[in-house]
Structure 1
């Protein structure tokens, strides 16, 4: 016989059915091979997992983009947007239509219901759009899926050199980066597109009897490259191609525009000024005061941020920086690898610290070797999780890391229950294999069903739709994986390792082990005093007067709910996740020149520098000045990752701007992004003439806490209602950054053909075409030059098209000759909306605002608006309608879906407990104990000054798993004692006392496991603190309540049994596990 075979005959083992637990406990090779597989495969998978800050999202949106150069928002709404809306409104699965019409640009976003086949929907949308007859001047519609793709690296090429020089260097850098095998896509950004502008004075046109359209036609015909067929010879086929494509200024100047009667040619360069430059748009980017151009590097779904970043940085250092001329520099403005590495390093640091604290706590209650094996089992479970994450296509991102934090607090439960049970067997004299098998079997069934109930609870989070559901989906998936692997490890691997432990006092203990044993002995003495003193008295009170205990617990629950409902504990659906860049998005009145917007942006930048100096003075007056990086954009606003807003790219507009401060490394000075945001906002103060200013430090948003869509069929009435609503909203305490997307629009010179013009046989179409060509430009052709599609426009010189007088003096050609425009058309100024917004085929105005959580919550503000101005406006005007958006819409949708899925989860959890219990009542007792975790979680939030959020709820579900496990174990022991003939009350008291050490150990290890994150100060971890606080404090306080509430519930159940029921009948009503256990 081998030594392991001999141990089979130890007392308590012989005669038991083999089963998987006994088989694995006896077979060290099988157990160790399983561990080795999980460790090695997990390590290999961990190295191969995709790393990203945020998971990829499927937004279920299809966008139709139409560029219509020179068209007003009203024109685009009528001739483009409304036609598209009408065609696509019948596509199957459509949930909502959202449209925008702005100058030269139209967008329609079709929102589809979750689960819709988006490829099919996009094909249907494209087929419908292709049937639309759009204006001839409009470009071909682009139909695309709206994705969450974000740049992972952004380089800024900067220097006090011409814009063309910067742009060409940016293209060279982008070409080199695109050639890297690790990079699939890189693009140049933040600069105006190239444009060839051919400017012909009106006098030259009249002298030659030409129009701008004639010149454009000549340019078009003089710059062609066409295939002319093929020649078939005896030996080969030869393609014939006419070459005549022009590319640069010199080529175009040589085009023949007109041939005189004497045969002489008039070339374009003789009558026109050809400018090879940039489109006349208001777009500029500056980095630390110097002109700049961006190069954005993107990541596809299977590429790794860290590998991309390393390749780009190496290429930058070895190939780019050494070749740059003097005066040009390249700065890495954004690098997601820094964020990923920082968050990953922080999580590893906290996980190792938590694991060490767990091990330390275990050694206070269990033997050192036993505690070490339990801790090793946790590490094995986490490594094995990486393997299944790779198989399921999960990445390493801030939400999967959040799941691992949550799992650390709850998976320790299984191993501790098994380890403590084996320890109890060893205390009773069992040794080696006998103690391991007997201890594991004793708790295997409740462990299995407690894990299954926790898995069920987390599975209820999987169906949550929308962006918030997709962002949070890695959390339940990862936790479920860890739970199942931990279950396998606890029941099939841990018993084998624990069977090798030497007998207590059997020798081989070192000085450290002896010291720890003495500490454990003192802890045991203290524990016994607690168990036989305060706990015993409390338990006997609970079984004698269960009504008092239950009423007290119910009172605590009512107080907790009241604290949440009243706002004593603030409730935010989504707490901000801070980034390293704090941005200020600026909007001036429409029509504001770019120069004025730039001047205001400089004021905001100066306020940011003052905020930096102020924060440094407050923290360390003697600190050296802090280096800051600042990017200022005019023409566009900073792009915050907002899945709800789509990713439409509109034309640059001079009244928009953005100022961004990069905060990398500021944690060394104890300056959080949110702190700088608050001080910056204070330093900016009130800026006259600014329409809206939004300052934010958030890395991601799912909308703002206050978001309303207002609609009315009368645009003027809608504008008045929106203004009234904004004024009322601005008066509410705690509300800031109130913004409406309704604007008065820029002044518009509206031309209308007079009867005199019609008598000259001048049509509206011919008249509009001439005016458009003169002042916007007639597009002759487009030239592919390098990576850019360059437009070639023919127009009047700038000095002939820069005032209203120039328009009225412009000579319009009629069949009877040329006449001044003022004679054939009337001109008048009016204002028109710069951007027209539509929701579900109706004009709409969106009003948003942020809320200071220290003063009010979004729920409180929304409730005040619902009961106040919105109720009044709806009563006064029956045509007025409003809907919710932003966080409120997401929260209501999530609550509705969660309510359904959690209800089903509760039914499954009930069934999972009712079947092995053989009881209808006792599963209800366990479920009744779940709210005890909420009392602790809310108390923890109140103690730390935190707001409740959706992440707090994820933590609360984790707490429910621990509570269910502890309750299951307690009731199992009580039922075993009752089955042995012990009276009901004595069985309840004794069973609860017997389980106190395991329950206390579970609670302590859970708390210390997440404690590093609860008290973490890094800005990278602040979004994790509510989750960790829910788990840590929820388990601690729930444990204290659980020890009294569950016995009280059991006593109340026993008291409600029929008077004539015998002991055996009572057990048949409430028995748990005995039949199930005997068959193991």
Structure 2
């Protein structure tokens, strides 16, 4: 069957060329249209429910809102995780959906469940329920300048509206800051002078500020609307509302008892860019969008509309992710082309140039064929760092079977003449071995398609590229390559320089084989146990180097960030002004360090800084670094200098520097959930655990979600208040009015929703002692001071209450420096010692260890199972063509030396081993199996001698391994910071194939000789294949 297909294509070169053109053109068109990303987007679908509860404490929000929402949504099968956060005046519940769930259908169900809740407090705002789809961040844009906050807010809203009008732009997010407000600050003395209450003022405002339709007059002329238009919109219009008519007939206006201003609402907000007031925008793209298209559209808009901005304002795209995408992909493409060129040079030194050229043609054919399939819906792989690395990974591998085929055809044609029959026979002799060799490589990579967890898409990108490229290499080497080899014919033209060089190399190779390799191999063949022991010793040395720390295990590769950030958290007693002062001091420290570096290196490392306040006690500083080529220090070194210089500001609780590309604030190396029913016990255990984590030298940036406690004023009626008929609801209503105020109306003005707030002056509301001066009104109109009818006490209360899947918990998070300690050792220490001791001390609590380290361990366990299944698949694929249960075990014996080579390679390159390194080892397995299979099937020929067979296959094995190693050399020595993620995998593959080839050429022949002595030679020759 296969012979007939090969023969048909050899005799029909037009069909061959059309197939080749189809793959090349189809792949090229796909390449031009495929989406480009820095890293693949993880399909993390979420639904978020946000409910504002003005004036409520965190505990009140938890009991009144968060718990009720969690109970209503508990048990939804599509929800993988539900996290609730209860803060002062705000409830937030985030649902993480399972990958196969219908997000829109679930969103509709969540809305129905929330709408059906009848027990939510009456004072809450309408719940905001949003689906948060996976998005690509395209750029950060800053609108900054000398405008005041009101004008900056209006300019930011206009900019957002205009950006969303661009057809290429779907998502534009920014913190709009404090809302516009009509502030009516009432003089308490004036109220008492005129005998008015806040409630009466509210009623008078609502009575006069109104737009209302009174109906319609219908007659034979038509329909006439009867309507009152008297709505006030601005402070001046509200100030003229009459609130009281005196006995003298004089009218008291609102402006006479209150100060009315158009202002911004109370609240914490601060944002700056390079030290100037700013609004920071995040432009995002949908998964199916190309971020390059979105980026270019935004930059074109900025270029043409900057002049229309208000005087003193500037808009700049200060952080463009497309720049990094293009730069990183260009870097990977340069490495790909450099590797391909090196592979071609190596092939040209051993093969005729035209043969080498057609062998190399397998690379673009396989690659573009792969590119054609990647955008398919069932695959959905984009062009990103990981998929590009997949292409580099198989650069030397895809030509392996083409080398074997071309070498077999060349020798057959040289001995039997250049004719179609010779080409067919040459291909047929190696077809089964090469096909199954490729399939073993495919099987080795299949586990990457089944990786679970947050890094799933990273490995799927590599896996699909390798699997498709290898399958297309079968098509190219069995159908396309033979037809082109048949057209080459005998060599006619002499190229003295190239021929002389190739002849010299061939002679030198043969001299090495005859004079060195064969004598050494003959000497080793009788010494089975010493040889096996020596190779086993190498394996033990590699294990010892890893376990002894000579080659460190670092888990996931740490990739330095191009725009690190510093998040700080203040004590609950800190004011907004103190938080702003602290984050600006951090910003100045970063700039001072940069000035020092500029004087030292002649070039600063910081391009821009941006500051955003996230609540009264939280702030974040973003640092945009200069381009890679101008950076003398990496992000890790900069972060170390910043840590040494950052000041200890008054009220500072903790800070964290996000210095790695995969640094997710919600997912750190260590995440420990402390769960229990007694809040005080939970808090005590969490504080003790925080102290123990800080005592570990390799652990840094420890954060505690429960570390901030707020001062809460707890009110209670006294005996007199109860006797006068006051109820807690009556007391709280009047106190709330005095402290928070009354929301009288909401009006729509200039496309903004504006609250009309009736309240006491700020200095009256900001002082605790003013609580004593609040007048409480009884039903009969009597006024009494607060202290006459009630009392209060000060207690501590949490500023945030967190729950995970409905259970209240405290979360401690921390990072681990893998250069100071093995992350697995830290994880074991926590589980077996620290958490065990705390569990014994606090028997009512549960300590759940999560985070990236735990995720890595779980992922490694799952991958180990898949790897074992992959090994069984490789064994099956070898057993079928070899027709033996035992002979595949001989091939598998060389596989551990892929790991040996990887360990020694990391030691030589001065690298720590990571998860990516292990995937490089898996990639090397396919090459190792292919090389061992070449030797074994050749030895299966009746009458073959092991030394003769090994000598004949020395060139093919060396060449396949050499092309793989050479193709990866440019990437292994790449200096780009983002290449740090993939370099360990390249090192593992490159050195792994070298070590496995060494085992194949020296250890495997010894094992084959031993097997031949023990067993009848005829049983070993069951699979009668010949590689020529």
TM over 0.5: yes
Deviation (angstroms), 1:458:
2.0
2:729 to 751, 765, 779: 765
Q: Secondary structure at the match of 2:135?
A: coil
Question: Contact conserved, 1:426 with 1:435, CA < 8 A, in 2?
Answer: yes
1:958 to 907, 913, 923: 923
Q: Distance in 1 between matches of 2:247 and 2:35?
A: 71
1:691 aligned to 2:653? yes
1:360 aligned to 2:321? no
Deviation (angstroms), 1:688:
6.2
Question: Contact conserved, 2:136 with 2:286, CA < 8 A, in 1?
Answer: no
Q: Secondary structure at the match of 2:722?
A: helix
Q: Distance in 1 between matches of 2:353 and 2:636?
A: 44
Who is 1:442 aligned against? 429
Q: Distance in 1 between matches of 2:210 and 2:530?
A: 94
Q: 1:539 to 1:237 in 2, by over 3 A?
A: farther
Deviation (angstroms), 1:1033:
1.5
1:630 to 597, 602, 609: 609
Q: 1:742 to 1:430 in 2, by over 3 A?
A: farther
Question: Contact conserved, 2:184 with 2:756, CA < 8 A, in 1?
Answer: yes
Who is 2:287 aligned against? 301
Q: 1:571 to 1:236 in 2, by over 3 A?
A: farther
CA displacement, residues 304-357 of structure 1 (integer Å, 9 cap, x when unaligned): 21111112112211222x234543222222111111111111111111111111
Who is 2:466 aligned against? 479
Question: Contact conserved, 1:57 with 1:147, CA < 8 A, in 2?
Answer: no
Q: 1:777 to 1:540 in 2, by over 3 A?
A: farther
Who is 2:152 aligned against? 166
Pairs within 5 Å for 1:491-502: 491-502=478-489
2:269 to 283, 298, 316: 283
Question: Contact conserved, 2:574 with 2:651, CA < 8 A, in 1?
Answer: no
Q: Distance in 2 between matches of 1:795 and 1:721?
A: 42
Structure 1, 989-998 or 1003-1012: larger mean CA deviation:
989-998
1:1030 aligned to 2:988? yes
Who is 1:5 aligned against? none
Q: 1:558 to 1:860 in 2, by over 3 A?
A: same
Deviation (angstroms), 1:1016:
0.6
CA displacement, residues 886-937 of structure 1 (integer Å, 9 cap, x when unaligned): 2123213312332333333333332222222211122233333222211111
Q: Secondary structure at the match of 1:466?
A: coil
What is the number of residues matched between the two proteins?
1022
Q: Distance in 2 between matches of 1:806 and 1:587?
A: 29
Q: 1:157 to 1:431 in 2, by over 3 A?
A: same
Could you tell me which runs of 5 or more consecutive residues in structure 1 were left unpaired when the two chains were aligned: 1-15, 637-652
Could you tell me which runs of 5 or more consecutive residues in structure 2 were left unpaired when the two chains were aligned: none
Q: 1:257 to 1:686 in 2, by over 3 A?
A: closer
Question: Contact conserved, 1:158 with 1:330, CA < 8 A, in 2?
Answer: yes
2:754 to 790, 814, 817: 790
Q: 1:252 to 1:22 in 2, by over 3 A?
A: farther
Pairs within 5 Å for 1:288-687: 288-320=274-306, 322-391=307-376, 392-428=379-415, 430-431=417-418, 433-504=420-491, 506-507=492-493, 509=494, 513-618=495-600, 620=601, 623=602, 628-633=607-612, 635-636=613-614, 653-684=615-646
1:803 aligned to 2:758? no
Question: Contact conserved, 1:216 with 1:794, CA < 8 A, in 2?
Answer: yes
Structure 1, 283-292 or 236-245: larger mean CA deviation:
236-245
Q: Distance in 1 between matches of 2:26 and 2:446?
A: 25
Q: Secondary structure at the match of 2:455?
A: helix
1:192 aligned to 2:178? yes
Deviation (angstroms), 1:672:
2.4
1:49 aligned to 2:28? no
Question: Contact conserved, 2:389 with 2:462, CA < 8 A, in 1?
Answer: yes
Q: Distance in 1 between matches of 2:35 and 2:575?
A: 45
Deviation (angstroms), 1:248:
3.3
Who is 2:57 aligned against? 72
Who is 2:902 aligned against? 937
Who is 1:918 aligned against? 883
Q: Secondary structure at the match of 2:41?
A: coil
1:39 to 18, 21, 24: 24
Q: Distance in 2 between matches of 1:17 and 1:746?
A: 77
Question: Contact conserved, 1:114 with 1:466, CA < 8 A, in 2?
Answer: no
Q: Secondary structure at the match of 1:912?
A: helix
Question: Contact conserved, 2:44 with 2:134, CA < 8 A, in 1?
Answer: yes
TM-score, normalised to structure 2, is: 0.94
Q: Distance in 1 between matches of 2:506 and 2:786?
A: 101
Pairs within 5 Å for 1:805-884: 805-816=769-780, 817-884=782-849
Structure 1, 459-468 or 72-81: larger mean CA deviation:
459-468
Q: 1:387 to 1:784 in 2, by over 3 A?
A: farther
Q: Secondary structure at the match of 1:154?
A: strand
Who is 1:149 aligned against? 135
Deviation (angstroms), 1:503:
1.4
2:87 to 63, 86, 102: 102
Q: Distance in 1 between matches of 2:752 and 2:41?
A: 29
Q: Secondary structure at the match of 1:473?
A: helix
Who is 1:895 aligned against? 860
Question: Contact conserved, 1:615 with 1:671, CA < 8 A, in 2?
Answer: no
Who is 1:13 aligned against? none
Q: Secondary structure at the match of 1:390?
A: coil
Deviation (angstroms), 1:686:
5.5
Q: Distance in 2 between matches of 1:919 and 1:239?
A: 95
Deviation (angstroms), 1:146:
4.3
Question: Contact conserved, 2:84 with 2:93, CA < 8 A, in 1?
Answer: yes
Structure 1, 352-361 or 229-238: larger mean CA deviation:
229-238
Q: Secondary structure at the match of 2:454?
A: helix
Q: Secondary structure at the match of 1:750?
A: strand
Who is 1:8 aligned against? none
Question: Contact conserved, 1:927 with 1:964, CA < 8 A, in 2?
Answer: yes
Question: Contact conserved, 2:434 with 2:930, CA < 8 A, in 1?
Answer: yes
Deviation (angstroms), 1:500:
2.1
TM-align CA RMSD: 2.8
Q: Distance in 2 between matches of 1:483 and 1:235?
A: 82
Q: Distance in 2 between matches of 1:425 and 1:692?
A: 74
Deviation (angstroms), 1:111:
4.2
Question: Contact conserved, 1:222 with 1:244, CA < 8 A, in 2?
Answer: yes
